[in-house]
Structure 1
Amino acid sequence: MFKYIIDNDVELKILDINNAEELFDLIYSCKSYLMEWLPWVDGTKSMADTKTFIEMSKKQIASNSGFQAGIWYKQKLAGVIGYHKMDWTNKSTSIGYWLGENYQGKGITVRATKAFVEYALTDLNLNRVEIRCAEKNYKSRAIPERLGFSNEGTSKEVEWLYDHYVSHVIYGMLASQWKNARSIH
């Protein structure tokens, strides 16, 4: 199982069914905050929905197509980060992340994302990592920008978010670029 200790405060661990209640409580406690940018939040209505997500994540691991990890901050579940589908043929993946409202502003997501990028480009020997952020989600966009990702452009109105479309800014990092970027960040 994947467990990655980043520092004394932050660690990443594969989500287990035993984490369902803590994950559901975190989502529910900041539902309106998360709904501003995440289309799946409104569909998380019960503990069963959270258990289904964790089970789907376990199937993703079993099929070697990525995984989702909980982000723990000082022993409390603070959010989730994950690899979307792994493209082993082209040696690429994309990363998604979210953090509970009370955990914002502590550099947690930057540290978790940096660890995920490092793992993908070094340990998994991938060539490319992509991060897509809603164009106006400046907090989310700050993560790849701080880590030295290249802004590769904007896809217009690619995601339906409850009652409107949002455009995504696409950020990319190549393995050859990461060696230089990680020494700076």
Structure 2
Amino acid sequence: MLQRPILLDIPDRLESERLWLRVPRPGDGAAINQAVRESFEELRPWLPWAATLPTVAESEEFARRSAVSYLAREAFTWLLWSKQTGDLIGASGMHDLNWSAPSMQIGYWVRTSMAGQGYITEAVRTLTRFAFDLLGAYRLEIRCDERNERSAAVARRAGFVLEGVLRNERRHHLSQELRNTMVFAAVKAPSERASSSS
């Protein structure tokens, strides 16, 4: 069991084939806000934080709070940047950290103009390796609304297995109707656990 996660030495930038995954910094708010505004109608049905359009100041506050949470090892947020163009693709992160397992949930969103190109699947695979190899995680989850077919497709492409559906698990943040939540998971194999503890 990891007692003091704040002492973990982990990078604030990760790399995949086409992306730089970087922890938000002061000054990132404008780029985040631009991506969210472009994608607002697509994000709004699925993400409670996108129920209302954020201001640039609110996006800047998000960037700064995310940086603090990363340093404190309370949550992990990365902005996804294209290596080729330098554009902001979207964001991904790990929340609901349970350091006693350790286990955590992965969330993500992509800006509308960059959707359908495999960027989020690429990011999730990178973060899965990061969690297993550097954070010592044994279990990762992706949860999404049962109707969110695109999010579920990402989970499946990234190798996560549907473990079940939580019926009437939450109320939709806009309609207030009861909705079902799909729970996908990836776990470290027993052989990997044995070798990492030896």
Which whole-Å deviations, capped at 9, do the CAs of 1:44-101 have from their partners, x for residues lacking one?
4311211221122123113212210001123100111001132111110100000011
Q: 5 Å matches for 1:64-79?
A: 64-73=73-82, 74-79=85-90
Q: Is the 8 A contact 1:44 1:50 kept in 2?
A: no
Q: Tell me the CA shift for residue 177 of structure 1.
A: 7.6
- Stretch deviating more after TM superposition (168-177 or 118-127): 168-177
Alignment-derived partner of residue 8 in structure 2: none
* RMSD of aligned Cα (Å): 1.8
Distance in 2 between residues matched to 1:175 and 1:159, nearest whole Å: 32
* 1:58 and 2:67 aligned: yes
* 1:161 and 2:170 aligned: no
Alignment-derived partner of residue 137 in structure 1: 148
Q: Is the 8 A contact 2:46 2:145 kept in 1?
A: yes
Aligned partner letter, 1:154: V
Q: SS at 1:40's partner residue?
A: helix
Q: Is the 8 A contact 2:40 2:53 kept in 1?
A: no
Q: Which has more radius of gyration? A: 2
Distance in 1 between residues matched to 2:157 and 2:191, nearest whole Å: 12
* 1:172 and 2:185 aligned: yes
Which whole-Å deviations, capped at 9, do the CAs of 1:96-130 have from their partners, x for residues lacking one?
00001111111100000000011001111110000
Q: 5 Å matches for 1:18-167?
A: 18-73=27-82, 74-157=85-168, 158-165=170-177, 166-167=179-180
Q: Tell me the CA shift for residue 178 of structure 1.
A: 10
Aligned partner letter, 1:34: L
Identical aligned residues as a percent: 22
Alignment-derived partner of residue 16 in structure 2: 6
Distance in 2 between residues matched to 1:43 and 1:63, nearest whole Å: 28
TM-score normalized with structure 2 length: 0.83
Q: Is the 8 A contact 2:51 2:173 kept in 1?
A: no
Distance in 2 between residues matched to 1:84 and 1:159, nearest whole Å: 20
TM-score normalized with structure 1 length: 0.89
Which whole-Å deviations, capped at 9, do the CAs of 1:120-152 have from their partners, x for residues lacking one?
011111100000011111111011111221211
Distance in 2 between residues matched to 1:56 and 1:120, nearest whole Å: 21
Runs of 4+ more than 3 Å apart:
none
Q: Is the 8 A contact 1:6 1:115 kept in 2?
A: yes
Alignment-derived partner of residue 182 in structure 1: none
Where structure 1 has 5 or more consecutive residues not aligned to the other structure, the ranges are: 180-185
Q: Is the 8 A contact 1:68 1:80 kept in 2?
A: yes
Distance in 2 between residues matched to 1:62 and 1:44, nearest whole Å: 27
Aligned partner letter, 1:99: V
Query: Would the alpha carbon gap of residues 164 and 146 (structure 1) be closer, same or farther in structure 2, given more than 3 Å must change?
Result: same
